Structure 1
């Protein structure tokens, strides 16, 4: 995926210097920074694993979700908080 970034000249210069010092391309350096910001480490390549979504059930020829969007959002919120070490209070 290609994208365009507008960076201040001093920041871009420092990025180029750091890439040269580490012997990597600018693209590789920036991808590592993005991965570290998203996943916590530059080596992490996968998204965090989430619980599987419930399977829809059939009712009178119509598919009805097992959970509402609000219930699914709450499940994801709880998982994110647990990963962050925050205790969920009911």
Structure 2
């Protein structure tokens, strides 16, 4: 066993084990290589997609109504009574 690997074991149904060995033989690789490729593909597919870039409109399509007020988040929290 290579030092940078971890040994694990799986309980596979007999039919699945047979199909893995047959598929590996057809591809000319070992069952281990076939299983590793499948696990890597499953992990890569599970990665979250890159977040979409937010559309930035400058100037904005809708202008703000009224005048701006100087109110920070902290000021708003102080004005609201929270339970």
TM-score after normalising by structure 1 = 0.46
Bigger fraction of residues in strand:
1
Structure with bigger gyration radius: 2
